Amino acid sequence: MTWRGSSTPTDRLLSSLVYLLPVMEALPFGIFLFSQIPVLVTILSPLFYLRQFYDLSVGGLAIVPLLAFFGLFLGVVRNSSCSHLLRFNAMQALLITIGIYLGEILLQILGITQILSLGFADPQSHAPILLVVFFQIIFLGTIALCGYSTFFALQGLYGEVPVISEAAYRQTRY
């Protein structure tokens, strides 16, 4: 949680908003938790509406996530005119998102992709316990990491996550 120069309130706000990308990607992994705790659906309902826009696709290609990912990487992380706080948090959010993508790839390899749709009828019907645990780890882990990092970003500090922050620092040194 080091301090590198001063940050403006705009930098702090933008640094916290970049964590919406991994949260949007992790939202489908909360399906089992949402069925167990229905009040979470009410609390997170603004994210579900945002997710509908996020899922827009053109010709089967999810264009909004792709544009958001490359926009953050090329427009923010690689842009030395942006503050270091913003570039660091954008890179950290992208690394969390890459971790979620790896989880989705693992599910595709195992042939378990139909559960990831938010409209899945009964997520508790005959789901193996390891699958439920995997989904909850990804969802709750993402929420915890993003919440922790957002908390520090709003203060103008760097939320240190052991492996992810080191990689983010390496990408934003200059």
Burial environment of residue 88 by CB neighbours within 10 A (0 to 12, 13 to 18, 19 or more): buried
Q: Which has the closest alpha carbon to 130: 100, 106, 105, 101?
A: 106
* Average pLDDT of the segment spanning 82-108: 93
Give the model confidence (pLDDT) of 149-164 as tens digits: 999 999 999 999 999 9
Arithmetic mean of pLDDT, 5-22: 90
Share above pLDDT 70 across residues of the chain, in percent, rounded to a whole number: 88
pTM above threshold 0.85: yes
What are the tens digits of pLDDT across the range 18-77? 999 999 999 999 988 998 899 999 999 999 999 888 888 777 788 899 999 999 999 999
> Which pLDDT does position 1 carry in this prediction?
47
What is the structure's pLDDT at 62? 83
Total length of the chain: 174
